[in-house]
Amino acid sequence: MNRRIFLMGLSALAGCSRDTRPRLNVYNWSSYIAPETVPRFEAEFGVQVRYATYESNEEMLAKALTGNSGWDVVFPTHNRLAPMRENGLLARLNHQWLTGLDNLDPRFRAPAWDPELAWGVPYMWNATGIVYHRSVQPPPGRWADLWNPALKGRLTMLDDPEDVLGACLKKLGRSFSATDANELRAAEREAIAQKPLVRAYLNAEVRDQLVSGDVLAAQLWSTTAQQAIDAEPRLAFAYPAEGFPLYCDCAVILRESRRARLAHEFLNYLLRPDVSARIVQATKTATANRAAWSLLPEAVRTNPVLYPPADVYARGEWPQTLPPGTQRLRDRIWTEIKSA
């Protein structure tokens, strides 16, 4: 073979393998979009999307903090927005490029954590409550019911310091965002008193054990609880009477992104009512998008686990960003609970 033909062949090969379409990099929580969400965006805008998933804010933050993570759009929980902004990780949203913010539920148009929606677009929200087997009598309705000795060995709490300490603080009539050392120490004593009853500290993996009946009561996120209830109708969910935390995941654009315009297009795409409604149908989450919510079937719209009625919702509290000193005390308390 002569050299020129060989080289031409080589360059042709290179041409084939390289996709010249602009690429958007999206890093999202696992099971947080519908299967066709990304392919349809790629087809409509003639771009390719590199999509990957994470399981915790910390996993995502560890990458984003490098400032050179290669991601354009990520989905932090509302109280991670402030620290990300202070670390210079976020790009301010350009509202001239955003269409569809009017689709958002009024509750999410000027949220306390980002009143002008300058940094993130509210995406999906959920709460932490109690999922329990209907055979548990009386049915748990308060966090304090999770200290019932009858549940020994059949109860799990989340493997998350914010939620476990939060439940203890609420039991004591305090705020989830408590910063007072005495209040936090009192909450620690509650958690340690509860530990002999606790089978394990589990997150989403408790779902199968609830369905199989190994676990009778669990502290769990409303969306995961709904998935368990779909699989086992004898399970029920309670929003605790003392109050409960609400979390909202927001779509943000990282400052390192070099495709800000395309990233905005992706946010607009997610704000479309039909796209958002499909995601809700596929993943059983609660959308922050009012227009999408109206497209949902009646049974989903009135589902009391995903969309609690107004009087229940009023007991919810949006956990705030904690000051560093408190964070450190909480970390220590968590280690103490774990090794108690």
Partner 1 sequence: MKLRRWFLLPAWLWMALLFLAPFAIVLAYSLLTRGTYGGVGGPWTLENYQRLLDPLYLTILLRSFAMAAAATAICLALAFPAALFIARSNRHRNLYLQLVMLPFWTSFLVRTYAWMFLLRDTGLINTALQWTGIIHGPLPLLYNNGAVLLGLVYGYLPFMVLPIYATLERMDPALAEAAADLGARPMVTVLRIIAPLAMPGILAGSVLVFIPCLGAYLTPDLLGGGRSAMVGNLVQNQFTTARDWPFGSAVSIALMALVTALLWALLRKQKEPIA
Give yes or no for residue 88 binding partner 1 (CB under 8 A): no
Give yes or no for residue 159 binding partner 1 (CB under 8 A): yes
Give yes or no for residue 214 binding partner 1 (CB under 8 A): yes
CA–CA gap between residue 79 and residue 222 (Å, rounded): 18
CA 275 remoteness from chain centre: 18
The DSSP bridge pattern shows strands 73-74 and 23-29 to be: parallel
CA 87 remoteness from chain centre: 21
- DSSP lists the bridge partners of residue 104 as 289
- DSSP lists the bridge partners of residue 132 as 217, 236
Residue 84, SS3 per DSSP: helix
Give the interface segment with partner 1, choosing from 113-121, 255-263, 276-284, 323-331 (CB under 8 A).
323-331
The residue with tokens 């490029």 is 97
Q: Max CA-CA distance within the chain?
A: 85
The residue with tokens 């699989």 is 231
**Nearest residue (CB) to partner 1, 11 versus 212:** 212
**Nearest residue (CB) to partner 1, 128 versus 156:** 156
Minimum CB distance to partner 1, residue 150 (Å): 14
Q: Which of 24, 33, 38, 61 binds partner 1 (CB under 8 A)?
A: 61
Q: Where are any strands of DSSP class E within the chain?
A: 23-29, 48-54, 73-74, 120-133, 155-157, 198-201, 217-221, 235-238, 244-253, 286-287, 316-317
- Amino acid letter, 65: L
Q: Which of 130, 167, 184, 198 binds partner 1 (CB under 8 A)?
A: 198
Q: Phi, psi (5° rounding) for residue 250? A: -120, 140
Give yes or no for residue 281 binding partner 1 (CB under 8 A): no
**Nearest residue (CB) to partner 1, 9 versus 213:** 213
Give yes or no for residue 199 binding partner 1 (CB under 8 A): yes
Number of residues in contact with partner 1, rule: CB under 8 A? 35
Minimum CB distance to partner 1, residue 279 (Å): 27
**Nearest residue (CB) to partner 1, 212 versus 302:** 212
**Nearest residue (CB) to partner 1, 86 versus 180:** 86
DSSP at 140: P
- Each residue 2-31 as x (binds partner 1 by CB under 8 A) or -, in order, gives ------------------------------
Tokens representing 143 are 């966090």
Which residues in this chain contact partner 1 in the complex, by CB under 8 A?
Answer: 56, 58-59, 61-62, 65, 83-84, 86-87, 153, 156, 159-161, 195, 198-202, 209, 212-214, 324, 327-328, 331-332, 334-336, 338-339
